[in-house]
Amino acid sequence: MAYIRAFGSHLPARRVGNDELASLVGATPEWILSVSGIEERRYAADEETVASLGLAAAQDCLANAGVTSNQLGLILVSSGSADHLSPGPASQIAAALGLASTPALDIPVASAGSLIALALANDLAPRFGKVLVVGAEIMSRRIERTPQGKDTAILFGDGAGACLVDLESGCADPQTVCLRIADSLLLTDGSAAEILKIENGRILMEGKTVILQAYRKIPRAIHDLLARNALTPADVQVFLLHQANLNLIERVAAGLKVPRERFFVNIARCGNTSSASLLIAAAEWRRAHTAPLTGPVVFSAFGAGLNWGALLALPA
């Protein structure tokens, strides 16, 4: 098994509050907050790209790990909003890090992609060594800020997160996260894929159906993963979830019968940043909680495909 050594993140400078967005989509700021838990989200500047956001998060992560880019053996980049289907942002990020031959692969799965990348990084680390995982999104270019696009426009923002997975724990360095990846569970149900997709440059989502599917699937995946490791939700110290919607996170907490306080939440400030959100949340959680962990950490996400799952990490 491999270790999570560090996280990193980057958010664009521009803040878009509910007051600004409400006037465009024909809603009130209070309604947006009540249905999503979001107060503001970040939008990328015109000159920023998915790759440039991902690069900034990658550099933050490597600095936190005390690792240089030339030590990397593999880069995995998740994005559902990349400017090009192919090549995706992975090769651009690798080149910007000064790497000319290190394999860099794209995982174009909105929302759940960074969880998938983490699970793959754990499996691939024995072959490649240090694996950099990046989730980067500019979802503000995939929404329609009109009354017709209200249901998605109120949710999505931009940003990037990163994580370093390594066979070496780095536990001797107090700056590192020092978590051992113990197990992961990835699942796919393509029969309902049409309820959440990016088509013709726009994200299309049947919001209520997506929430219902996520609420049913996320707790079951977490239960199943923990059970096969002789654990229960009550044993988990912190839950790090894809920041899709505050109401969904609260429903998952209730379904697992776990205090809401064990779920780290930053959606009020960041909005839903799709596949970047899990790693942005992890980076912010780590900055806010630097004391050594004493219990398990569970990562979980649900996204396009439909793809979902959970990953279990234990203090090393």
Element (H, E) at 71: none
The pLDDT value recorded for residue 176 is: 84
The pLDDT value recorded for residue 85 is: 80
3-state secondary structure of 134: strand
Q: Which amino acid is at 265?
A: V
Could you give the angle at which helices 246-256 and 207-227 cross, rounded to 10 degrees?
40
The pLDDT value recorded for residue 297 is: 98
The pLDDT value recorded for residue 170 is: 82
Which residues are CB-neighbours of 105 under 8 A, at least 6 positions away?
A: 74, 75, 76, 77, 90
The pLDDT value recorded for residue 94 is: 98
Task: Check: pTM over 0.85? Answer yes or no.
Answer: yes
Run means of pLDDT, 10 residues per run, the chain, 316 residues: 96 97 96 97 98 98 97 98 90 98 97 98 98 98 93 96 94 86 97 89 88 94 98 98 96 96 98 98 95 93 96 95
Are the beta carbons of 280 and 11 closer than 8 angstroms? yes
The pLDDT value recorded for residue 171 is: 85
The pLDDT value recorded for residue 25 is: 95
Instruction: Delineate the domains of the chain, giving CATH numbers in brackets.
Output: 1-316 (3.40.47.10)
- DSSP for 265-306 reads --HHHH-B-GGGHHHHHHHHHHHH--SPP-S-EEEEEEETTT
